[in-house]
Chains A and B, each alone.
Chain A
Amino acid sequence: MLVDWIIILSSIGYLLVLFAIAYFADKRAERGAGITSHPYIYALSLGVYCTSWTFYGSVGRAASSGLDFLPIYLGPTLVFVLWWLVVKKIIRITKAHRITSIADFISSRYGKSTPLSALVTVIAVVGIVPYISLQLKAVATSFNVLKQYPEVIAPLNSPPIATVADTAFWVALVLAIFAILFGTRHIDNSEHHDGVVVAIAFESVVKLLAFLAVGIFVTFGLYDGFGDLFQQASRVPELVQLMTFEKEGAYTTWVTLTTLSMVAAVCLPRQFQVIAVENVNEPELRKGVWLFPLYLLAINIFVLPIALGGMLQFPRGDVNADTFILTLPMAHEQEMLALLVFLGGLSAATSMVIVATIALSTMVCNDLVMPVLLRWNWLGLREKSDFTGVLLFVRRSSIILILLFGYAYFRFLGESDALVTIGLISFAAVFQFAPAMIGGMFWKGGNRKGALVGLSLGFVVWAYTLLLPAFAKSGLLPITFIAAGPLGVELLRPYELFGLQGLDHLTHALFWTTVFNAGAYVFVSLYTRHSAIERVQGALFVDVYRYADQGARSQIWQGSASVEDLFNLLVRFLGRARADRAFSGYFRDRGLERRRVITADADLVHVTERLLSGAIGAASARVMISSVVKGEVVRLEEVMTILDETSQVIEYSQSLEQKSKELESTTAQLRAANERLQELDRLKDEFLSTVSHELRTPLTSIRSFSEILSDHPDLEEEEKSRFLEIIVKESVRLTRLINQVLDLAKIEAGQMEWILEDLDIPQVVENSMDTMSAILSEKEIALDVDFASDLPVIRGDRDRLMQVFVNLLSNAIKFCDESRGWVKVSVFLQGEEVAITVADNGRGVPWQAREHIFEKFHQSREGLADKPHGTGLGLSISRQIVEHFGGRLELVQTGSRGSVFGVFLPLQAKQIVAKAGE
Chain B
Amino acid sequence: MPQTVLVVEDEPHIVDSLSFLMKKAGFDVFIARDGDAALRMVESRPPDLILLDIMLPRRDGFEVLKYVRANDAWKEMRVILLTAKGRDVDRLKGMELGADDFVTKPFSTKDVVRLVKQHLGVEEKLA
Contacts and interface: CB of A to CB of B under 8 A. Distances in A.
Interface in B65-117: 84-87, 104-110
A730 interface: yes
Contacts of A699: 105-106
B26 interface: no
Quick one: which of A696, A702, A868 has the most chain B CB within 10 A? Answer: A696
Interface residues of B, number: 26
A708 B109 contact: yes
Quick one: which of B11, B13, B108, B109 has the most chain A CB within 10 A? Answer: B13
B17 A693 contact: no
Interface in A687-731: 689, 692-694, 696-697, 699-705, 707-708, 711-712, 726, 729-730
B109 A697 contact: no
Nearest to A685: B87
A700 B10 contact: no
Contact of A702 (B34, B86, B87, B106): B106
B14 A701 contact: yes
B16 interface: yes
A671 B86 CA distance: 32
A869 B57 CA distance: 13
Contacts of B105: 696-697, 699-700
B41 interface: no
A465 B11 CA distance: 113
Given A699-B106, A711-B109, A865 B14 contact: no
Quick one: which of B14, B57, B86, B105 has the most chain A CB within 10 A? Answer: B105
Nearest to B57: A861
A704 B10 CA distance: 16
A866 interface: yes
B120 interface: no
B12 interface: yes
Contacts of A702: 106
A139 to B, nearest CB: 104
A696 B54 CA distance: 13
B10 A865 contact: yes
A707 B108 contact: yes
A696 B106 CA distance: 6
Contact of A868 (B12, B20, B55): B12
Contacts of B16: 701, 705, 726
Given A693-B84, A708-B20, A700 B12 contact: no
B106 A704 contact: yes
A53 B84 CA distance: 105
A689 B87 contact: yes
A856 to B, nearest CB: 15
Given A689-B85, A692-B85, A697-B84, A730 B109 contact: no
B112 to A, nearest CB: 9
A443 to B, nearest CB: 74
Quick one: which of B12, B55, B107, B110 has the most chain A CB within 10 A? Answer: B12
A703 B106 contact: yes
Nearest to A707: B109
B13 A708 contact: no
B24 interface: yes
Contact of A708 (B17, B33, B86): B17
Nearest to A705: B17
A700 B20 contact: no
A404 to B, nearest CB: 106
A128 to B, nearest CB: 95
B57 A708 contact: no
Given A696-B85, A865-B12, 19 more contacts: A692-B84, A693-B85, A696-B84, A696-B86, A697-B105, A703-B107, A704-B13, A704-B14, A704-B21, A704-B109, A707-B108, A707-B110, A708-B20, A708-B21, A711-B109, A865-B33, A866-B12, A867-B12, A869-B11
Interface of B: 10-14, 16-18, 20-21, 24, 33-34, 55, 57, 84-87, 104-110
28 contacts: A689-B87, A692-B84, A693-B55, A694-B84, A696-B104, A697-B84, A700-B11, A700-B14, A700-B17, A700-B105, A700-B107, A701-B11, A701-B17, A702-B106, A703-B108, A703-B109, A704-B13, A704-B14, A704-B18, A705-B17, A707-B108, A708-B20, A711-B109, A711-B110, A861-B57, A865-B12, A868-B13, A869-B11
Closest 9 CB pairs of A and B: A704-B17, A701-B13, A700-B106, A696-B84, A693-B84, A700-B105, A703-B106, A707-B109, A699-B106
